[in-house]
Each structure stands twice: as structure tokens, then as C-alpha cells.
């Protein structure tokens, strides 16, 4: 449970300045944003917001938050942290994709008021190096991540990025059969190296196979997904 050592009666939350900080990463890296509450008269509620990519400025007023164009990030992706005597939340973005770049806001509130702070996740572009030959997965630990247990009603992404002579084509199977987009709410694209599954239900459990191919050959990797808990 989150407890605040420096609570004041009838005090709106106050976030530590300069957090979260802008992060510059490459596709496939991991990124972490942190925000810390210095003062709150009551137990605050934390939310992380991911703004649409068209937003290239940092909001300064509460009205900009109210009328903003963003989505709420699933709380499954952040956790409570303690820095000295203060508490906050840490947002973890594993294996960053193109969709992850942009502006993030930590929004904290209690029944007295609110505070918020924002930072950008910025793309660090690698110099282009021609790649030839058959596909090779870029994650050396991919085989160790073959099993995933994930809670119902949440979303997840299965990722199998590869390099090789272009063009690379990605294909997904579920339980050995062609993946039908209309069966599940999913993002499927033959040029994208991840499969996004939203609002998971127990029936989504199964074996998901990623096949990557080009004119030189093909590789594949199978994830076993187990959806746990009840769908709500």
C-alpha cells in the first residue's frame, strides 16, 4: 500500500520537479519513466497518459489535460517505487516500438487537487547499415521468453523483431493455423514485428507463432500465452 510520510492536512499532491525526464532510446530498447510525490494530504491516485503522436508540446494547464488527445496506460505497466522517504510510480516500457515514442504524462490527484508532469520518449535513430541474408531474430533472449502468463482484460504485445535482406515479411499463426484478425481484437501487419492483443479473455490462450521470411529463407518462434483470471 502507498503511504506518504510528508502528508499535510487538506493538501493537493505536489510532484517532484524535473521528473519524469526525457528519454532517448532506440527501437527494441527498454525505457523507464518515474514520478515522485513530495506532498499529499491524502492517498493520491496515479495515472500515466500517453499522448497522440501529433502532440509535440508539454501541457501546462489542467484544461489542456481535460481536453487532451491521449490514452490511459494500463496500470499493469507501472509500479509503486520509494525514493528515500517519498513514494511514486515507475512506468516501464519493454522492447520499445515505433508506437511507443511520444509524450507521456504522470497525473496524480486526490480529493483536494492534482498535479502532473510530462516527458518525451525520443527515438534515437541508428545509422543505416545494409543487411543481407536470411532473417535473424534481434533479441538473443527470445527463446527464454517463450511462455507468458498475462491477466485477463489487459493487453499484451508479442514481439519477434528480425533483421535480414529486405523486404522482410511477418506472418502470425495461432495454434498452427492462420491468424484471423476477426477472431480477436489484434493489430496485424505483414511489415510489423509485433502482434498486439487487446482486452484478453481466457479463450485467447494458446500458441502464437511468428514466421519471418525473405528471399533467402525463413525463421519462426512460438510464444505460449496463458490468460489468467476472470474477464471483466
Please tell me if the domain spanning 14-123 has the same topology as the one spanning 136-227. Answer: yes
14-123: CATH topology is Immunoglobulin-like (2.60.40)
Note the pTM of the prediction, 2 decimals. Answer: 0.63
Write down the pLDDT at residue 139: 87
Q: Is the pLDDT of residue 11 over 90?
A: no
What pLDDT, on the 0 to 100 scale, is given for residue 227? Answer: 95
Mean pLDDT over 172-201 rounds to 72
CA atoms lying within 13 Å on the CB side of residue 179: 23
Residue 70 confidence (pLDDT) above 90:
yes
**Which pLDDT value is given to residue 127?**
67
Q: What DSSP character marks residue 100?
A: G
Which cell numbers in the block locate residue 10?
A: 487538506
CA dist., res. 134 & res. 67, Å (int): 48
Residue-wise pLDDT tens digits, 87-136: 899 999 998 999 999 999 999 999 999 999 999 999 997 766 678 899 99
For the domain made up of 136-227, give the CATH fold.
Immunoglobulin-like (2.60.40)
Contacts for 80 with CB less than 8 Å, ≥ 6 apart: 2, 87, 88, 89, 90
Residue 105 is predicted with a pLDDT of 98
- So where are the chain's domains? 14-123, 136-227
Give the residue from 103, 91, 106, 72 showing the smallest Cα distance to 33.
91
The answer to whether 70 and 52 are in contact (CB under 8 A) is yes
pLDDT digits (tens, 9 = 90+) for 28-38: 899 999 999 99
Write down the pLDDT at residue 85: 85
Count the alpha carbons within 13 Å of 161 in the hemisphere toward its beta carbon.
12
Where is pLDDT greater, at 209 or 188?
209
Mean pLDDT of the chain: 87
Amino acid at each position: 500500500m502507498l503511504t506518504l510520510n510528508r502528508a499535510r492536512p487538506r493538501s493537493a499532491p505536489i510532484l517532484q520537479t524535473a521528473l519524469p525526464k526525457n528519454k532517448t532510446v532506440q527501437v527494441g530498447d527498454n525505457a523507464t519513466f518515474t514520478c515522485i510525490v513530495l506532498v499529499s494530504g491524502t492517498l493520491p491516485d496515479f495515472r500515466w497518459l500517453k499522448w497522440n503522436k501529433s502532440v509535440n508540446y508539454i501541457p501546462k494547464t489542467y484544461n489542456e489535460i481535460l481536453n487532451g488527445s491521449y490514452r490511459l496506460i494500463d496500470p499493469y505497466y507501472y509500479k509503486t517505487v520509494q525514493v528515500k522517504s517519498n513514494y511514486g510510480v515507475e512506468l516501464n516500457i519493454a522492447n520499445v516500438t515505433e508506437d511507443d515514442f511520444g509524450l507521456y504524462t504522470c497525473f496524480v490527484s486526490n480529493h483536494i487537487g492534482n498535479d502532473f508532469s510530462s516527458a518525451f520518449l525520443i527515438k534515437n535513430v541508428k545509422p543505416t547499415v545494409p543487411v543481407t541474408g536470411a532473417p535473424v531474430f534481434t533479441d538473443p533472449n527470445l527463446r527464454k521468453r517463450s511462455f507468458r502468463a498475462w491477466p485477463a482484460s489487459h493487453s499484451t504485445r508479442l514481439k519477434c523483431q528480425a533483421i535480414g535482406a529486405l523486404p522482410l515479411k511477418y506472418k502470425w499463426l495461432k495454434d498452427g493455423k492462420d491468424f484471423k484478425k476477426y477472431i480477436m481484437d489484434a493489430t496485424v501487419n505483414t511489415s510489423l514485428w509485433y502482434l498486439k492483443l487487446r482486452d484478453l479473455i481466457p479463450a485467447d490462450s494458446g500458441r502464437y507463432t511468428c514466421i519471418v521470411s525473405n528471399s533467402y529463407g525463413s525463421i519462426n518462434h512460438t510464444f505460449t500465452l496463458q490468460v489468467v483470471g476472470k474477464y471483466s
